Amino acid sequence: MKLFLLFLVFLCLVACAKEGKTKYVQQQELNVAPPKVHATNTLIDSSVILTADLRLDGVEIFYTTNGKAPTKTAQKYERPLKVENEGVFKFKAFHPDWKPSETTLMKLYKKGYKPSKISWFTNAHDSYPGFGNTTVINENKGTLDFRDRQWQGFDSIAKSKLYFDKSPFIKSITIGYLIDTKSWIFPPKKIELHLNHKDTIAIKMAPLAEKEIKKLEDVQILIDSKVDSITIIVHNTSELPEWHLGTGKSAWLFMDEWIFN
Amino acid sequence: MSRRKFLKQSSCFGMGLLTYPMYESAFSFNTSKDVIVGHQSHRYKVDLNWGNLNPLHTPVQDCHEMVQDSKGRIVLLTNHVKNNIIIYDKSGKLLETWGTTYPGAHGLTLIQENGEDFLFITDYERHQIIKTTIDGKEILTIDYPVETGKYNVKEAFKPTETTVTENGDIYVADGYGEQLILHYNHKGELLDFFGGKGKDEDQFLNAHGICYDTRNSEHPSLLISAREMNQLKRFSLEGDFLETINVPGALICRPVIHKKDIYFAVLQSRNALYDDSGFILIMNENNEVISCPGATAPSYKNNGLDELYQTIRLFQHPHDVCIDDDENMYVAQWNSGQSYPIKLTRI
């Protein structure tokens, strides 16, 4: 009898429970925005300071350094991080009332050998000269804003020759570029390296898998050689794909930093 | 009373209580809550379904601007040439549409003359300003202002907004063109102009919106947004620069004055890692930001406003706001998947 009475009370509660129908948007239907992440420099000499923030009451930020998307069991961000080694940092915001944010990715690079000289065979477009001929080796990365003067913008092939003192052993070169498809800025189509006037390395880049993208990207090319000089030829995407508004026309190529490690 | 009898009576009493209307909402298995956006005095619930229509019959491209007419109807301007003007009632019910010849429909301003409503449409593809009756009859067209000597071709004139004073004078912001503010009389004859492209205090980068501010009735003035600069600038009616109000991080579209406050759609957060990072900004009569639905709570340090940015992924690219006579807000969005406006209900 007692069980029956309890069951009756339960039924009553269910019957009385409000449907909760409303025309308004509900919490847990929307995501919080991804955290804002800032590094004092994305090229590490000795160390840099990494900060993450989202000014919303109740937000908690978690991060990883192992490439995985952060969950609430990941490391909790509580104060600025002093970072000495290169790596990929991923940050995500969580809030009790909202769905978690998308992930903010911050890639930090180790500063490399600085070339003693750079000579250009082609010129950046007049509208996007960056800080001049040394923009791609000035040890500063660009932001997502293509107007940022850390970017040099090309509407055709970018070709230059770089010289190194004392023939350092260079393991790899990292070429940083911007993707901003809405602004007609696409990844390189092909990269050619000519080492010390003899060896040639050519890399063909894969076409974009997604349509609307805006992000910082890079390609790392293994060299494993002592280098006196290196000629770098970066080809822009010569024909925008069918899905793009500018189909058939050539894409912009925006590069910020070339890192020799 | 036996224990069994007590239980029986008390559970029935409980049933009575819980079924009584007063307690209807006291108990709910639904743990979800209405989203509330905004801060302090200006907080809102969000209705994403308001004004949704069949896109096959009444499509939109970009929803650029909205106004409320004297009948209380909500008038939307889109650059879709099947129906450039869509008129709703406040519940979001479609009342009528018109307009098929405004491919660059961008700015929408409502004025009253002798008790009758008129609209000013700026069209940056036609390079014209068009005055119409509320039902779409064109009564005045202003072409590119060649007499300024600043325009060699009509294509250089890309007007984004108008505002009209009590005497009928028209001010036009050439926000996608030469960044000039052009002053016309009620017949559309150019009187003077000021502004221009640049970073000086009396110049603009993207003079996107303009409005006539009569809150100080002794000194009416013009408020002009310099969207790319994240600034609102005040000028006299003669075109003299008066002041700049900084809104760091906020790409503000046109200022919309409602009672004592100014409302802005913010197209994007300046330093966001993604494009669709807009929000709404509300400023009081002292030019202080008091609420930012969808974004950081406004805070001032050392007499400066902290950078504002989107915190909730609610809005994409808000382009204009309209505040109705119930204090509710309608948000028109640019480049947001051909979506219809969003209604915010003030709480």
pLDDT tens profile A220-246: 999 999 999 999 999 999 999 998 989
How do residues A45-92 score in pLDDT, each as one tens digit?
A: 999 999 999 999 999 999 999 999 999 999 999 999 999 999 999 999
B22, A10 contact by CB (below 8 A): no
Q: Does A245 touch chain B (CB under 8 A)?
A: no
Give strand ranges (E) for B40-167: 42-47, 63-68, 74-78, 85-88, 94-98, 105-113, 116-123, 128-133, 138-142, 161-164
DSSP assignment of A192-234, as one string?
Answer: EEEETTTEEEEEEPPPPSSSS-EEEEEEEEEEEEE-SEEEEEE
Q: Is A25 helix (H, G, I), strand (E, B) or coil?
A: coil
CA distance A199 to chain B (A): 39
How do residues B73-128 score in pLDDT, each as one tens digit?
A: 999 999 999 999 999 999 999 999 999 999 999 999 999 999 999 999 999 999 99
Query: What whole-number distance in Å separates Cα of residue B205 and Cα of residue B244?
Result: 13
How do residues A2-48 score in pLDDT, each as one tens digit?
A: 656 555 555 545 444 444 578 999 989 999 999 999 999 999 999 99
Q: How many angstroms separate the first and last alpha carbons of chain A? A: 79
How do residues B268-316 score in pLDDT, each as one tens digit?
A: 999 888 889 999 999 999 999 999 999 999 999 987 999 999 999 999 9
In 3D, which of B220, B227, B326 has the Cα closest to residue B281?
B227
Query: What whole-number distance in Å separates Cα of residue B195 and Cα of residue B211?
Result: 15
Q: Does B24 touch chain A (CB under 8 A)?
A: yes
Compute the C-alpha angle A87/A90/A94, nearest 5°. 160
Residue B309 with chain A: CB contacts under 8 Å: 33, 36, 55
Lowest mean pLDDT among A210-214, B44-48, B218-222: A210-214
Q: Is A97 helix (H, G, I), strand (E, B) or coil?
A: coil
B191-194: long-range contacts, CB 8 A cutoff, minimum separation 24 = B192/B238, B192/B239, B193/B145, B193/B148, B193/B150, B193/B239, B194/B235, B194/B239
Query: What whole-number distance in Å separates Cα of residue B222 and Cα of residue B88?
Result: 29
Residue B277 with chain A: CB contacts under 8 Å: 33
Q: Does A97 touch chain B (CB under 8 A)?
A: yes
Query: How is residue A138 written in tokens?
Result: 């000035």
pTM for this structure?
0.85
One-letter amino acid of A153: G
Residue A1 with chain B: CB contacts under 8 Å: 4
The answer to whether the Cβ–Cβ distance between B275 and A214 falls below 8 Å is: yes
Query: How is residue B158 written in tokens?
Result: 């890309």
pLDDT at B22: 38
Query: How is residue A35 written in tokens?
Result: 């955290």
